[in-house]
């Protein structure tokens, strides 16, 4: 369990399903006081289950689920949070979208 006696925590970064997650960035003040969702394995690596929300919502988008449905499933009050923060678009997905445009020639 982390020592919270005034010591500064160094940022902990991890990658889940190819997405970089700054574990400290995603901690909310009430979560900071609890280690309920914090997991550390025997090698000292951390997993923040909050990062799985990014994967879940991104996978909804890849499955062509409507943004409004994704917002509802994420329980977000603002669609911008769902689309701008939690939905990730890979470069290959962008390239596929461009290739799908009709030819101009």
Range of the domain at 86: 52-95
Q: Encode pLDDT of 26-83 as tens digits.
A: 554 445 555 555 567 667 777 777 788 899 999 999 999 999 999 999 999 999 999 9
In a domain, 77, yes or no: yes
13-17: long-range pairs with CB below 8 Å, 24+:
14/45, 14/46, 14/47, 14/48, 14/51, 16/47, 16/51, 16/52, 16/54, 16/55, 17/55
- Residue 19 is predicted with a pLDDT of 62
13 pLDDT more than 80: no
Q: Which of 4-13, 45-54, 68-77, 96-105 has the lowest mean pLDDT?
A: 4-13
The residue that leads in pLDDT, 35 or 6, is: 35
E strand map for 1-104: 13-16, 19-22, 38-40, 46-48
For residues 35 and 58, membership in a common domain is answered with no
In a domain, 40, yes or no: yes
Place of tokens 């020639």: 105
């Amino acid at each position: 369990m982390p020592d919270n006696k005034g010591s500064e925590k160094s940022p902990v970064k991890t990658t889940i399903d190819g997405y970089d997650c700054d574990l400290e960035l995603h901690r909310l003040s009430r979560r900071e006081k609890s280690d309920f969702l914090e997991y550390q394995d025997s090698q000292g690596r951390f997993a923040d289950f909050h990062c799985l929300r990014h994967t879940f919502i991104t996978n909804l988008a890849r499955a062509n689920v409507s943004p409004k449905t994704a917002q509802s499933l994420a329980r977000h009050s603002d669609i911008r949070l769902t689309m701008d923060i939690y939905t990730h678009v890979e470069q290959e997905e962008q390239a596929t979208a461009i290739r799908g445009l009709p030819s101009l020639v």
